[in-house]
């Protein structure tokens, strides 16, 4: 079955799916950070930091143009900022869920936000749809997305849009959940499909979002299929690095130098 995109319950097409995802994340924004840390036992922090370290050579270049797409409340953005030098070009942190982006902006905003030192690296919030980025062709050196790509209404369209705005040789990192195999996979499946939704409902007070999460992971292409999709949409050097027994993993690739 070909990989298409996220399909929240009750949606009939890509427009419906995108709208449902936006509404869902706006609705859980106030408790999103708490839920992430509780449900992952804080392992999510390690995943963000490890992903950011993978792209340290690019991030260390003050002139590099960097986009964190589907940035949510900004934890991936903050991890990336730790590797940006003083005076570096701001990171673009984009999401189409306004309530999520507003919370992120409180963490990663520019001068005058919090106690940020003068000259320190910062990010600029951008309300934007990952499938229709308001950016010029070949304008970015790096795109990173953490646990957001899975929610796109069309995976192939997302990869092609990222390819459009990356410079030839520009790098892409997609941090996403996966379903581990073996005994660990069986144990995790019980937690992920039964325990996690129950905890999510208890803390969040909503039923849909944390039932959607395991379903969306189950419907997401496995690593081999995702890598093939990346290769078919103009990327080279595609790879996948599993994190924490394969519960999550980082897809990496470069836009082909041949345009």
Place of tokens 């969306």: 216
55 part of a folded domain:
yes
Mean pLDDT computed over every residue of the chain: 89
Output b/e per residue, 201-238; b: 16+ Cβ within 10 A. Answer: eeebeeebbbbbbbebbeebbebeebbebbeebbbeeb
Q: Is the pLDDT of residue 58 over 90?
A: yes
Q: In this predicted model, what pLDDT tens digit does every residue of 124-163 receive, in sequence order? A: 999 999 999 999 999 999 999 999 999 999 999 999 999 9
Give the CATH number, domain containing residue 45.
3.40.50.150
Instruction: Provide the domain count of the chain.
Output: 1
Question: For residues 44 and 214, what is the distance between their CA atoms, to the nearest angstrom?
Answer: 16
Over the stretch 179-237, which tens digit does the pLDDT of each residue have?
888 887 788 778 777 787 787 777 676 666 777 888 888 889 999 999 999 999 999 99
Beta bridge partners of 255: 235
Query: Which pLDDT score, from 0 to 100, does residue 198 have?
Result: 80
Using alpha carbons, select from 245, 249, 244 the residue that is nearest to residue 224: 249
How many of the other CB atoms lie within 10 Å of CB of 28?
Answer: 20
Instruction: Give the model confidence (pLDDT) of 70-123 as tens digits.
Output: 999 999 999 999 999 999 999 999 999 999 999 999 988 755 554 455 678 899
Q: Is residue 200 part of a domain?
A: yes
Task: Give domain status of residue 7, yes or no.
Answer: no
pLDDT of residue 123: 94
Query: Could you tell me the pTM of the whole model?
Result: 0.92
3 domain residue, yes or no: no
Domain of residue 66: give its range.
14-255
């Amino acid at each position: 079955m070909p990989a298409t995109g996220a399909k929240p319950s009750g949606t009939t097409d890509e427009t419906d799916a995108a709208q449902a995802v936006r509404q869902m994340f706006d609705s859980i924004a106030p408790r999103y950070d708490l839920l992430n840390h509780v449900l992952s036992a804080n392992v999510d922090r390690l995943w963000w930091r490890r992903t950011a370290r993978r792209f340290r050579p690019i991030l260390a270049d003050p002139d590099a143009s960097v986009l964190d797409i589907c940035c949510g409340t900004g934890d991936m953005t903050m991890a990336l900022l730790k590797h940006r030098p003083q005076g570096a070009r701001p990171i673009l942190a984009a999401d189409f869920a306004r309530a999520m982006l507003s919370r992120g902006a409180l963490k990663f905003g520019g001068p005058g936000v919090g106690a940020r030192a003068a000259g320190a690296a910062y990010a600029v919030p951008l309300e934007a749809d990952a499938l229709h980025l308001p950016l010029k062709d070949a304008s970015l050196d790096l795109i990173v997305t953490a646990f957001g790509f899975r929610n796109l209404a069309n995976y192939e369209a997302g990869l092609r849009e990222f390819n459009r705005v990356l410079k030839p040789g520009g790098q892409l990192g997609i941090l996403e959940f996966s379903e581990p195999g073996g005994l660990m996979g069986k144990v995790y499946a019980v937690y992920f499909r039964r325990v996690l939704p129950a905890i999510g409902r208890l803390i969040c007070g909503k039923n849909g979002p944390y039932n959607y999460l395991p379903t969306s992971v189950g419907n997401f292409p496995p690593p081999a299929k995702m890598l093939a999709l990346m290769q078919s949409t103009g990327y080279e050097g595609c790879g996948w690095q599993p994190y924490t027994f394969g519960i999550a993993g980082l897809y990496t690739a470069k836009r082909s130098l041949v345009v």
